[in-house]
């Protein structure tokens, strides 16, 4: 599996997720086996580049190369400018977002809203590829199967993107209208893969090692991309990689490993965001890790009332210390 000049240790990637795949989370997933990770999307509007939020998204200190940054927007010129700007900040792969289904993004004529205008899609891709090619930076595309089941046009878009010079295509097997409902369309991903010569990465509903194997077999994709299933479960990457290589399952983490990983994640998260934002944005991660465990839901309700990082960290540590004496964790098959 290669994207431009870059090869990856395995075909199990982290999907870019707004508000989730920040630097601490990407680094954690890579340490636990992910072969590649793409940043959460960065705005193409230059007026937003000096904001605190964008500055954090441009912080790639200590990240395993190659650094990949996703950009979002609907203006070809701005997208090209944003690509060059992010390359100057360390990006070595630029990913174009044409898959985000969130209303706020689509209302700004970006993300999957772009799929309604194939000519605009082509102009954006062409502008970004033209800007990145002299810099030796490959451009990838993340998209969906279409705007709606009645407007499923990804095959045409994929062919045009390849002709323009996209280096790889990540495809979520749903339309924008589907959001995250229903089943992912692996048959559509398979048709796209059969038509293209560039790498295709399958995304959507991959939540176990067995499902990962099945999706790779069904689609013929070169890699898979894990999104929601990694929230609170970064171990999924090593488990999938092990299963793909051996056909056997690794045991899931025990209480002690969960304690070590979660507390290290929180430390890194607090350093990255600072006190005020860190304690608030950490709540969702704690909920993902612990919310479905015995007693976890009630504990997370209490965690949401804590407003300083030291107390929050200690509360998590104490709860996991008590849980360590409970029966072994049982992980879903």
The predicted structure's pLDDT at residue 48 = 65
Q: What 3-state class would DSSP assign to 6?
A: strand
Structure tokens at 232: 């609170």
Burial of 184 (0-12, 13-18, 19+ CB in 10 A): buried
Residue whose C-alpha is closest to residue 183's, from 158, 215, 150: 215
Chain centroid offset of residue 30 CA: 12
139 φ, ψ to 5°?
A: -115, 130
The predicted structure's pLDDT at residue 154 = 95
Structure tokens at 193: 């893969």
In tens, the pLDDT along 281-300 reads 999 999 999 999 989 999 99
The predicted structure's pLDDT at residue 61 = 86
**Is the preceding omega at residue 66 within 30 degrees of 0, hence cis?**
yes
> Could you tell me which residues come within 8 angstroms of residue 98 by beta carbon, excluding any fewer than 6 positions away?
111, 112, 114, 115, 121, 141, 142, 143, 144, 157
d(CA 283, CA 42): 23
Instruction: Give the predicted TM-score (pTM) of the model.
Output: 0.91
The predicted structure's pLDDT at residue 176 = 86
Domain 2-246 sits in which CATH superfamily?
Answer: Aldolase class I (3.20.20.70)
Catalytic residues: 100
d(CA 105, CA 4): 28
> Residue ranges per domain, the chain?
2-246, 255-323
Give the chain's mean pLDDT.
91
- Render the burial of 139-151: b for 16+ CB within 10 Å, e for the rest: bbbbbbbbbeeee
* Terminal Cα distance for the chain, rounded: 28
The predicted structure's pLDDT at residue 110 = 61
Q: Name beta bridge partners: 168.
A: 140
Tell me which residues of the chain have a pLDDT lower than 50: 332-333
């Amino acid at each position: 599996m290669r994207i431009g000049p870059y090869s990856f240790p395995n075909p199990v990637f982290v999907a870019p997720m707004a508000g989730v795949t920040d630097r601490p989370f990407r680094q954690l997933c890579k340490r636990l086996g992910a072969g590649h990770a793409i940043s959460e999307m960065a705005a193409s509007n230059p007026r937003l580049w000096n904001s605190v939020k964008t500055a954090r998204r441009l912080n790639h200190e200590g990240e395993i190369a190659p650094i990949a940054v996703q950009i979002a927007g609907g203006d070809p010129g701005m997208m090209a400018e944003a690509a060059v700007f992010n390359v100057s900040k360390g990006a070595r792969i630029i990913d174009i977002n044409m898959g985000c289904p969130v209303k706020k993004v689509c209302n700004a004529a970006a993300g999957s809203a772009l799929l309604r205008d194939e000519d605009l899609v082509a102009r954006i891709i062409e502008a970004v590829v033209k800007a990145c090619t002299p810099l030796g930076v490959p451009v990838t595309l993340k998209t969906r199967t279409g705007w709606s089941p009645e407007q499923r046009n990804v095959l045409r878009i994929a062919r045009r993107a390849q002709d323009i010079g996209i280096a790889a295509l990540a495809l979520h097997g749903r339309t924008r209208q589907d959001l995250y409902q229903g089943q992912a369309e692996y048959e559509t991903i398979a048709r796209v893969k059969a038509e293209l010569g560039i790498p295709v990465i399958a995304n959507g509903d991959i939540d176990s090692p067995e499902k990962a194997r099945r999706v790779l077999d069904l689609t013929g994709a070169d890699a898979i991309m894990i999104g929601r299933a990694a929230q609170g479960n970064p171990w999924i990457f090593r488990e999938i990689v092990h299963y793909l290589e051996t056909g056997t399952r690794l045991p899931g983490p025990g209480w002690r490993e969960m304690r070590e990983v979660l507390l290290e994640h929180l430390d890194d998260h607090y350093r990255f965001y600072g006190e005020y934002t860190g304690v608030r944005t950490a709540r969702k991660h704690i909920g993902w890790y612990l919310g479905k465990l015995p007693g976890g839901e009630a504990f997370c309700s209490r965690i949401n009332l804590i407003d300083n990082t030291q107390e929050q960290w200690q509360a998590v540590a104490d709860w996991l210390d008590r849980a360590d004496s409970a029966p072994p964790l049982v992980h879903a098959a």
